[in-house]
Amino acid sequence: MCCSFVPPYLLQRVALWAGTRHASDSGRETLQVDDRLRAQRQSPAGEMAAPRLPGSKKRVVHSANNTQTLPGEVVRSNGDPAVGDPAVDESFDASGQVWDMFESQFGRQSIDGRGSTVSITVHYERDYDNAFWDGTQLVFGDGDGQIFDRFTKPMDVMAHEYTHGVIQFTVGLAYQDQPGALNESISDVFASMAKQRVLGHTVAEADWIIGAGLFMPGINAKGLRSIREPGTAYDDPQIGRDLQVGSMSNYVVTDTDNGGVHINSGIPNRAFTLAALDIGGYSWEKAGRVWYDTLLNGQLSAQASFESFAQATIASARRLFVDDPSIADKVRAAWIDVGVLAAGIDLAADQAVAVSVPAAGGALAVDSGEPTGPSEQPATVAVRRSGGFAGTTKVRQLDLDSDPEGPEVRRLLMHVGPQPIAATRPAPDRFVYTVEYGDWHFTVPEQDLTPELRRLVQVVLNRGG
Ligand SMILES: [Zn+2]
């Protein structure tokens, strides 16, 4: 599992509508690089990239030197002084702050809970508009410098990615539909807490913004997400409008963004914020303890729905605060407020039923059975792309007889047709493609596109009408 910080719909928006050529190219490049990464990332849970070192708070920062090489060259590790490179020093400092929060507040050493060295790479690719946890390490891009600044700049980006790692080593939530939105939300919740703790903010003082300072000046944005008021973080001609929702009544059922994981995460985000505000004080002391305990209390599966997560937080609150039942009451009230419990309970159950994660490495079903090819030679091929920008689907149809690329597309179709398509688990920021050609009809996630399929869908989406 791996998780990108910028939601795919926003990356797509940058790629399509950025005001400058430079930024537009960077957004497109990030999508392509993420795709190449998917092919490399199948690291087993329980493994960390770097060896364990003696002492506590072990970190090593590498530089990819603007390449895709991971982890890259070691540029700063434990005990080293600041090196003067902002990306290196920011990531070193932020990872230490996040480690401190998990260790001192929740008794967790490192991402894996066993004190292993946290491995970080900065200067990944060139103008890379993203940050991610690749299953073994944390990776940060420099941003394009026109829309996005350095991804190491706001410390809560580090905290968010670090928490994706913690989730992998605890409940292991799937990155699809409701468990995927919970995965996103928990990462945001701990990111906000880490920032509040560094600033010494109480729940009343906190801004509850994720990624403040990540956008360059001139972009109309408070940050990337508001966990207190989902959907209000940005609204700008260059990047569009924040699409997050904060209530089950607005739950977005979509095939895009792995079931809208970055959009529906606003619902559990707001539940946490409401509970924390109601409880008062510092978020990490009570509400944070409840959320952390929920990752470990054994009540959740990797396919947890919002409702089962909500019930698990209430159970944790009851057990942790036996002498103060008001904590569990406030947690329950927050889940009711966002519509996950009580009024929203049926909807939550329905959504849980819809959760479906293909087995890793399993063959993808082809609707028409054996892909022996269409019985006739159809005159058109259609490609539908979902994912990326939430709620939008791009459909294009190419006339194979009249388009100059028709013969090449036919050749690609013949090449692709008989091949079995391997489907991996849903992954962040991936598109899903559906190809229709006569009685052929198949769907394949972006990370599983073969070179021929990739060329095929690109030609049809770029040239088709
Ligand atoms: Zn994430």
CATH number at residue 210: 1.10.390.10
Least confident of 240-244, 387-391, 393-397, 436-440: 387-391
- Burial profile 116-140: b = 16 or more Cβ within 10 angstroms, e = fewer: bbbbbbbbbbbbbbbbbbbbbbbbb
Here the tokens at position 2 are: 């791996």
- Residue length, the chain? 465
Domain boundary pick from 126, 147, 169: 169
Distance 183 CA to ligand 1 centre (A): 7
Name the residue with higher pLDDT: 405 or 84: 84
Same domain as 274, residue 255: yes
Q: Is 254 contained in some domain? A: yes
Distance 458 CA to ligand 1 centre (A): 27
Here the tokens at position 82 are: 């600041």
Distance 184 CA to ligand 1 centre (A): 5
Same domain as 330, residue 420: no
Distance 155 CA to ligand 1 centre (A): 14
Least confident of 217-221, 314-318, 372-376: 372-376
Please give the residue range of the domain that contains residue 16.
1-169
Query: Where does the pLDDT of residue 401 fall: very low under 50, low under 70, confident under 90, or very high at 90 and above?
Result: confident
**Strand duo 380-387 + 235-236: pairing:** unpaired
For residue 89, the surrounding DSSP H or E stretch is: helix 86-106
pLDDT at residue 213, as a whole number: 95
Q: If you average pLDDT over residues 61-83, what whole number do you get?
A: 95
Query: Where residue 5 sits, what CATH number does that domain have?
Result: 3.10.170.10
Catalytic one among 262, 307, 436, 446? 262
Q: 396 - beta bridge partners?
A: 383
Q: If you average pLDDT over residues 31-53, what whole number do you get?
A: 50
Query: Where does the pLDDT of residue 35 fall: very low under 50, low under 70, confident under 90, or very high at 90 and above?
Result: low
Here the tokens at position 403 are: 């388009």
pLDDT at residue 256, as a whole number: 81
Same domain as 148, residue 1: yes
Distance 187 CA to ligand 1 centre (A): 6
- Distance between CA atoms of 216 and 224, rounded to whole angstroms? 12
Q: What is the DSSP letter of 223?
A: -
Backbone angles phi, psi at 364, to 5 degrees: -85, 140
Query: What is the percent of the chain with per-residue pLDDT over 90, rounded to a whole number?
Result: 55
Here the tokens at position 42 are: 């199948």
pLDDT at residue 42, as a whole number: 40
Catalytic one among 90, 125, 161, 229? 161
Task: Give the model confidence (pLDDT) of 331-373 as tens digits.
Answer: 999 999 999 997 544 433 334 333 333 333 333 333 334 444 5
What is the number of other CB atoms lying within 10 angstroms of the CB of residue 100? Answer: 15
| CA nearest to 61, candidates 133, 118, 115 | 118
- CA 375, 381, 382, 387 dihedral sign is positive
Domain boundary pick from 293, 326, 357: 357
Q: If you average pLDDT over residues 156-183, what whole number do you get?
A: 94
Least confident of 14-18, 84-88, 179-183, 436-440: 14-18
Given a cut of 80, whether residue 180 has pLDDT beyond it is yes
Query: Where does the pLDDT of residue 410 fall: very low under 50, low under 70, confident under 90, or very high at 90 and above?
Result: confident
Domain boundary pick from 311, 337, 357: 357
Distance 162 CA to ligand 1 centre (A): 10
Same domain as 439, residue 331: no
- CA 289, 293, 295, 301 dihedral sign is negative
For residue 77, the surrounding DSSP H or E stretch is: strand 73-77
| 436 in active site | no
By the 8 A CB rule, do 75 and 83 touch?
A: yes
Here the tokens at position 416 are: 């692709």
By the 8 A CB rule, do 252 and 391 touch?
A: yes
- Distance between CA atoms of 110 and 102, rounded to whole angstroms? 8
What is the number of other CB atoms lying within 10 angstroms of the CB of residue 44? Answer: 7
Name the residue with higher pLDDT: 172 or 454: 172
Given a cut of 80, whether residue 316 has pLDDT beyond it is yes
Same domain as 145, residue 27: yes
Name the residue with higher pLDDT: 46 or 275: 275
| 262 in active site | yes
Given a cut of 80, whether residue 39 has pLDDT beyond it is no
Q: Is 193 contained in some domain? A: no
**Into how many domains does the chain fold?**
3
pLDDT at residue 387, as a whole number: 38
